[in-house]
């Protein structure tokens, strides 16, 4: 029998500034943005290595090592200042695999958004269509080895790039987001996510986990680029409702990316899902408003299924950008 799966009627509710649906049900528990708070390098958790306990595997310094500098938010998101004192080297190595899947999932857009990670802005290379893109002096440079391949075309002042994402595992991408969320949670709230913790580090095998409603992830591309990540951990306001609402959600802004994830497997899920209906408010940042006769407005949301555990290869990526010859 699959662990943690409950049949429930799932309802996604896009929000806008006028409706305020999202903020009706959620409040900020923690917020981080380096540029807003003039952050210098900071370590969350114990700074002394011999006093540390890993938040994820629960081992202390006597049974595991804490030699590596663990990022609370992945470096690939532009985090250069916030580190974790409660992540051991073994868990850090595991989470690096998840981060690699996130980088591959982001694909060419990660380079186009010019997010500076541990080694600067990552290079994007398409071996099949024989072109690559690099960032140099805050400018993007496109190098085409063979125009006949057709991966890059210019027509009517529009640059068209036909490429594909490097291989990635969707559920690992989701786990990368969940790891950030657990890192930001107050220690007093971790007990409610014990199953989440065990699943994140592989103590619960994926074959024991069926498709979960929270594996669907709203995503958007913003109009402004963030050089440093903005993280907002949201907690459900405490009041009775005739429907289930996720206990926590995480809003992630970095580069031109915006994600909203909900942390699965909270201890209250069984009780909450027994109400029969799950209400999932989508923050206005991820909603594209469309014209409608509805006085409350309407919106489109890009929702991705990140529940697959098999590697996705060759997923097409089509880019259209304005182009002006000089």
Report the pLDDT value the prediction gives residue 4, as an integer from 0 to 100. 43
Decide: 88 and 80 in contact? Cβ < 8 Å.
Answer: no
C-beta separation of 59 from 97 below 8 A: no
Instruction: Report pLDDT for 190.
Output: 95
Per-residue model confidence (pLDDT) at position 147 = 64
- Per the model's pLDDT, the better-predicted residue between 198 and 50 turns out to be 198
Q: Provide the pLDDT for residue 288.
A: 73
What number is the average pLDDT over the span 175-181?
A: 98
Q: Give dist(CA 114, CA 117) in Å, integer.
A: 9
Q: What is the pLDDT of residue 250?
A: 98
- Interval 125-138 mean pLDDT: 86
Question: Cα dist. 139→133, 134, 151 in Å?
Answer: 10, 8, 21
- Residue 221: pLDDT over 50: yes
Give the pLDDT score at 1. 33
| DSSP per-residue letters across 276-289 | SEEEEEEPGGG-EE
Average pLDDT over residues 54-77: 95
Domain limits, the chain: 9-101+168-316, 107-167+317-322
What's the N-to-C CA distance of the chain in angstroms? 63
Separation CA 191–CA 35 (nearest Å)? 32
Average pLDDT over residues 95-114: 94
Distance separating alpha carbons of residues 86 and 105, to the nearest angstrom: 27
pLDDT averaged over the chain? 87
pLDDT of residue 41 exceeding 90, the answer is: no
């Amino acid at each position: 029998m699959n662990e943690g799966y409950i049949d429930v009627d799932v309802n996604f509710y896009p929000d806008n500034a006028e409706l305020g649906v999202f903020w009706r049900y959620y409040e900020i528990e923690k917020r981080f943005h380096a540029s807003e708070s003039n952050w210098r390098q900071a370590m969350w958790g114990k700074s002394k290595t011999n006093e540390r306990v890993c938040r994820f595997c629960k081992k202390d310094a006597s049974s595991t090592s804490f030699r590596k500098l663990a990022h609370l938010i992945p470096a690939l998101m532009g985090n250069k200042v916030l580190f974790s004192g409660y992540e051991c080297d073994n868990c850090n190595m595991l989470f690096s695999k998840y981060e690699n899947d996130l980088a591959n999932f982001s694909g060419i857009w990660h380079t186009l958004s010019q997010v500076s990670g541990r080694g600067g802005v990552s290079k994007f290379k398409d071996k099949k269509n024989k072109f690559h893109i690099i960032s140099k002096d805050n400018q993007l440079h496109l190098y085409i080895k063979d125009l006949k391949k057709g991966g890059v075309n210019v027509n009517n002042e529009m640059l068209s790039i036909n490429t594909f994402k490097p291989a990635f595992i969707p559920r690992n991408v989701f786990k990368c987001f969940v790891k950030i969320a657990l890192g930001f949670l107050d220690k007093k709230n971790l007990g409610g996510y014990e199953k989440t913790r065990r699943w994140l580090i592989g103590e619960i095998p994926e074959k024991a986990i069926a498709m979960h409603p929270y594996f669907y992830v709203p995503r958007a591309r913003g109009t402004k680029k963030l050089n440093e990540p903005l993280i907002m951990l949201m907690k459900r306001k405490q009041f009775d409702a005739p429907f289930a609402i996720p206990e926590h959600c995480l809003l992630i802004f970095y580069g031109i990316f915006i994600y909203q994830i909900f942390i699965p497997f909270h201890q209250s899920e069984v009780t909450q899902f027994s109400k029969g209906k799950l209400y999932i408010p989508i923050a206005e940042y991820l909603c594209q408003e469309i014209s409608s006769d509805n006085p409350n407005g309407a919106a489109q949301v890009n929702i991705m299924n990140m529940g697959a555990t098999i590697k996705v290869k060759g997923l097409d990526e089509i880019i259209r950008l304005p182009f002006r010859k000089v």
